[in-house]
Amino acid sequence: MKPGIHPTYQQVLFFDVSSGFKILTGSTKSSNEKMEWEDGNSYPVIRVDTSSASHPFYTGKQRNTDKGGRVDRFNQRIQQKK
């Protein structure tokens, strides 16, 4: 590999602003803002709007509106005409 062309890989703290959920992971993304983690060290913080702690799919609050397929809609139209 050529030296100097790859971004630096470092530990970064992703912070979900809507739920307060934090996760420490590796990333090439960086930030000037730092926040202290449970181990006492400070890491760069990347603020995100949604995560697995606040997304409706993962929290079970997602609403599915199943309209049915073409056959179901056809059968409903036939029933309405009768």
Q: Is the pLDDT of residue 77 over 90?
A: no
Provide the pLDDT confidence category of residue 2 given band limits of 50, 70 and 90.
confident
Q: Over 90: is that where the pLDDT of 41 sits?
A: yes
pLDDT of res. 4 = 87
Q: Determine the average pLDDT of the residues in 40-69.
A: 78
Instruction: Give the count of alpha carbons within 13 A of 61, CB side only.
Output: 6
* Helices marked H in 4-69: 56-59
Instruction: Provide mean pLDDT across the span 46-74.
Output: 76
Find residue 11's DSSP bridge partners: 26
